Amino acid sequence: MKLYPIYFSPTGGTKQVAQIISQTWNWESETIDLLPPGDNAYHFAFTPEDLCIVAVPSFGGRVPAIAAERLRQMQGGRAAAILVTVYGNRAFEDTLVELADILSDAGFSPVAAISAVAQHSIFPQFAQNRPDDTDQAELTCFAQQIRSSLERHTPLDAPPVPGNRPYKTYHTIPMNPVGHNCSSCGICARECPVQAIPADQPDKVKKDLCISCMHCVSACPQHTRKLDKLLLTAAGLKMKSKCGGRKENQLFSIPV
């Protein structure tokens, strides 16, 4: 029996949530980080004895395409999978239903799903500093409920998750960070999950490749990589009504 926390977490919120949930299982564990670039680097195979906690952020109410591509390389081998989506206090729409489909097609057995809120990676004024202590307690409680269900009933049926098929259309966000007074250390270019930053000009961005995930902004040791301030302020004001209030974490599982 082995635990696999598997996550795509450009700015760390999804990783935090995956770690909180994972702590409930005191098993041997191996983390799979879906962020590093590399074609065909994700050919992992699992067994029915494994438990995978698969966590992705919601991008435009969908699973980020690059995370989907990497998950599709895996062989689920009927491993139990807890589906997790983490969103920035707007909505996660079709993310869980898409994640359930991707994992079922790859041979995993989805057993429960969680939606959780974390600080918005583009607009940090929304869900600021979440997950907080309340989230931590709530997510731990969800994980304990799933653990008890799994101990009593193996295998569990697939959980009903909210969302629609066909999934909503993903609209690319025209917000691409660039470097200002960049020291050209190259960390962002090496770590960009989609290789959208030229190694020889790391202050630039290949707009056609950039997925606006903000990993480069959070990875820049000098904090020189940023979005255009005016654009960010204007877009943030537009988002205000949709991202206000405190949205709650949710557990989706088969009642037992």
Q: How far is the CB of 47 from ligand FMN (least distance, A)?
A: 28
Question: For ligand FMN, which residue of 5, 6, 11, 99 counts as binding (CB under 6 A)?
Answer: 11
Q: Does 24 bind ligand FMN (CB under 6 A)?
A: no
Residues with Cβ within 8 Å of 114's Cβ and at least 6 positions away in sequence, in order, are 17, 21, 82, 83, 84, 85, 139, 142, 249, 250, 251, 252
By CB under 6 A, residue 131 contacts ligand FMN: no
Contact region with ligand FMN (CB under 6 A), list: 83-91, 105-113, 132-140, 144-152: 83-91
- Cβ-Cβ contacts under 8 Å for 77 (sequence gap 6 or more): 45, 46, 47, 48, 50, 107
Q: Which helix (H) or strand (E) holds 4?
A: strand 3-7
- Give the count of residues interacting with ligand FMN (CB under 6 A): 27
Question: How far apart (Å, rounded) are the C-alpha atoms in residues 195 and 189?
Answer: 7
Nearer to ligand FMN, 12 or 198 (CB): 12
Q: Which of 173, 187, 232, 235 binds ligand FMN (CB under 6 A)?
A: 173
Measure Cα distances from 95 to 53, 132, 226 in Å: 15, 22, 27
57 contacts ligand FMN (rule: CB under 6 A): yes
Q: Minimum distance between the CB of residue 133 and ligand FMN, rounded to whole angstroms?
A: 17
Give least dist CB 211 to ligand FMN, A.
6
64 SS3 class: coil
- Min CB(45)–ligand FMN separation in Å: 25
56 phi, psi to nearest 5 deg? -135, 150
| 121 lies in the binding site for ligand FMN (CB under 6 A) | yes
- What is the DSSP secondary structure assignment for residue 121, as one 8-state letter? S
Q: Which of 86, 103, 196, 197 binds ligand FMN (CB under 6 A)?
A: 86
Interface with ligand FMN in residues 197-256 (CB under 6 A) = 212-214
Q: Tell me whether residue 212 or residue 253 sits nearer to ligand FMN (CB atom).
A: 212
SS3 for 216?
A: helix
Cβ-in-10-Å burial (0-12, 13-18, 19+) of 208 comes to exposed
Interacting residues with ligand FMN (CB under 6 A): 9-15, 57-61, 86-91, 118-122, 173, 212-214
